[in-house]
């Protein structure tokens, strides 16, 4: 596939007690792991439909065999002390591989679509940065054509101030905001969502 576009997918290794810990406080570690695996598989279904290069960044180790097949997904390990530094290193590594448009997403968003990802790449034709705002004040997608180091520093990652502070760092840049979506972090994010009801029926 000849493309100068690349999508980075940040994911956690599927280990009991290590994923969706805030959600697990309400529904338990096993259910939280089931839901996270469901979300990761959903993320792969979405990214499979986008015709770009793809890289998966794991948080702890790179498994030899999982559903991110090595033919379509290059596999890497996240490097850095916090989320900002890990994202920075992933973007830096990818731009150093001569990609021109790079987008990063997480793996905990059920409502993301291939259309939204494609729109993000298209908007980078006429914008410096594209952001997918999350309802919790963060973002579910970040895309750029050149590296903007300040946006990865001095943030309280996981709090509702992240997007506001990021936009402040980018006030001299042209930024496009995609539609707002809700990622899955706590029980309230899934309790009324139809896609998750079969996980909750035994609670």
Q: What pLDDT, in 10s, does the model give residues 83-135?
A: 999 999 999 999 999 999 999 999 999 999 999 999 999 999 999 999 999 99
Asked if residue 182 lies in contact with residue 133, where contact means CB atoms within 8 angstroms, the answer is no
**Is residue 82 situated within a structural domain?**
yes
- Locate 195 and state its tokens: 């896609």
Could you give the percent of the chain with pLDDT greater than 90?
87
pLDDT band at 202 (very low <50, low <70, confident <90, very high): confident
Residue 166 and residue 148: Cα distance in Å, rounded? 10
pLDDT of residue 4: 94
* Inside any domain, residue 203: no
Q: 164 φ, ψ to 5°?
A: -60, -45
| Closest CA relative to residue 152, chosen from 140, 165, 137 | 165
Give me the domain span that covers residue 33.
5-195
132, part of any domain: yes
39: in domain: yes
Is residue 158 in some structural domain? Answer: yes
Determine, yes or no, domain membership for 200: no
How many domains are contained in the chain?
A: 1
What pLDDT does 201 receive? 83
Residue 191 has what DSSP assignment? T
Query: What's 148's domain CATH number?
Result: 3.90.550.10
Three-state DSSP class for residue 187: helix
- Picking from 143, 113, 134, 114, the residue whose alpha carbon sits closest to that of residue 184 is 134
In this structure, is residue 201 part of a structural domain? Answer: no
Residue 170, both tokens: 């980018």
DSSP symbols for 64-112 = SSSSS-TTTEEEEE--SSSHHHHHHHHHHHHHTTT-SEEEEE-S--TT-
- Note whether residue 148 is domain-resident: yes
Q: Enumerate the H helices of the chain as residue ranges.
A: 21-27, 29-48, 83-95, 114-123, 162-169, 197-200
Q: Are 175 and 129 in contact (CB under 8 A)?
A: yes
What pLDDT digit, counting tens, does each position of 47-67 carry?
999 999 999 999 999 998 898
Residue 79 structure tokens: 């490097």
Can you tell me the distance from the alpha carbon of 117 to that of 121, in angstroms, rounded to the nearest whole number? 7
Instruction: Please provide the distance, in angstroms rounded to a whole number, between the alpha carbons at the two ends of the chain.
Output: 45
| 40-50: average pLDDT | 96
Residues 187 and 108: their CA atoms lie apart, in Å, by 13
């Amino acid at each position: 596939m000849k493309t100068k576009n690349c999508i980075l997918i940040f994911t956690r290794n599927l280990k009991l007690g290590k994923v969706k810990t805030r959600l697990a406080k309400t529904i338990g570690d096993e259910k939280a792991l089931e839901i996270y695996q469901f979300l990761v598989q959903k993320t792969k279904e979405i990214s499979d439909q986008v015709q770009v290069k793809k890289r998966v960044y794991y948080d702890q180790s790179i498994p030899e065999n999982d559903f991110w097949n090595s033919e379509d997904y290059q596999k890497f390990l996240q490097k850095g002390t916090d989320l900002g530094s890990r994202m920075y290193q992933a973007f830096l590594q990818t731009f150093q591989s001569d990609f021109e448009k790079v987008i990063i997403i997480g793996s905990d968003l059920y409502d993301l679509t291939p259309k939204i990802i494609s729109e993000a790449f298209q908007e980078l034709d006429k914008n410096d940065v594209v952001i997918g705002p999350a309802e919790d004040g963060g973002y579910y997608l970040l895309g750029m054509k050149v590296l903007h180091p300040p946006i990865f520093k001095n943030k309280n990652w996981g709090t509702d101030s992240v997007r506001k502070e990021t936009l402040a760092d980018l006030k001299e840049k042209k930024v496009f905001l995609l539609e707002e979506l809700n990622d899955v972090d706590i029980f309230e994010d899934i309790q009324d969502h139809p896609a998750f009801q079969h996980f909750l029926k035994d609670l």
